[in-house]
Amino acid sequence: MLSAMASGDPPGGGRVSIGDVARLAGVSPITVSRVANSSDAVRPATRDKVLAAMNKLGYAPNSAARALRSGSFHEIGVVVHRLDRTGESRTVEGVVNAARAEGYTISLVDVRSPTSAEVTAAAQRLRHQAIDGLIIVRAEAATAATLALPAGLPVVVSDSRLIGRHPAVSSDQAGGIRDAVEHLLALGHRTVHHAAGPTDSTPAMVREEVWRRLLTDAGRPVPEVMRGDWTLRSGYELGLRVDPAATAVLCANDEMAAGMIRALHERGRRVPDDVSVVGFDDIAVAEYLWPPLTTIRQDFSRIGAELVRMLLDQVRGQGEPVERQRLVPTELVVRASTASPR
Partner DNA sequence: CTGAAAGCGCTTACAG
* Residue 112 sits in the site that holds DNA (CB under 7 A): no
Q: Which of 15, 190, 241, 316 binds a copy of itself (CB under 8 A)?
A: 15
Backbone angles phi, psi at 329, to 5 degrees: -60, 150
Q: Which of 144, 147, 140, 136 is nearest to 95 (CA)?
A: 136
Instruction: Give least dist CB 28 to DNA, A.
Output: 4
Return the ∠ at Cα 285 (arms to 140 and 160), rounded to 5°: 10
CB of 95 to DNA, least distance (A): 26
What distances in angstroms separate CA 183 from CA 15, 96, 208, 223, 342, one per listed residue? 63, 35, 17, 18, 16
Nearer to DNA by C-beta: 37 or 146? 37
Q: Does 113 bind DNA (CB under 7 A)?
A: no
- State the nearest-atom distance from the C-beta of 291 to a copy of itself, in Å: 10
> Which 241-280 residues touch a copy of itself, going by CB under 8 A?
255, 258-259, 261-262, 265
Name the segment binding DNA (CB under 7 A); options: 43-51, 160-168, 237-245, 277-285.
43-51
* Least spacing, CB of residue 16 vs DNA, in Å: 8
Contacts of 233 (CB under 8 A, 6+ apart): 259
**Does residue 42 bind DNA (CB under 7 A)?**
yes
Q: Angle 64-101-103 (CA atoms, 0-180°, nearest 5)?
A: 15
Q: Which one, 48 or 93, has the nearer CB to DNA? A: 48
Q: Which is nearer to DNA, 7 or 340 (CB)?
A: 7
Interface of this chain with DNA, residues 64 to 93, rule: CB under 7 A = 65-66, 68-70
Please give the size of the binding site for a copy of itself, defined by CB under 8 A: 62
DSSP state of 104: -
Which residues are registered as beta bridge partners of 333? 295
- What's the closest the beta carbon of residue 80 comes to DNA, in angstroms? 27
Give the total of residues touching DNA (CB under 7 A). 30
Tabulate helix, strand, coil % of the chain (nearest 5). Answer: 40, 15, 40
Residue 186, contacted partner among a copy of itself, DNA, none, CB below 5-8 A by kind: none
How many helices, marked H, and strands, marked E, lie in the chain? Answer: 11, 12
Hey, is 250 helix, strand or coil?
strand
Omega before 321 within 30 of 0, i.e. cis: no
From CA 342, how far away is CA 338, in angstroms rounded? 12
- Shortest Å, Cβ 79 to DNA: 23
- Per CB under 8 A, contacts with a copy of itself among 25-64 are 58, 60-64
One DSSP character per residue, 21-59 reads: HHHHHTS-HHHHHHHHTT-S-S-HHHHHHHHHHHHHHT-
State the residues that interact with a copy of itself by CB under 8 A.
Answer: 1-5, 14-15, 58, 60-65, 67-68, 71, 73-75, 78, 83-84, 86, 89-90, 92-93, 96-97, 100, 105-110, 124-130, 148-152, 232, 236, 255, 258-259, 261-262, 265, 284-285, 287-288, 290
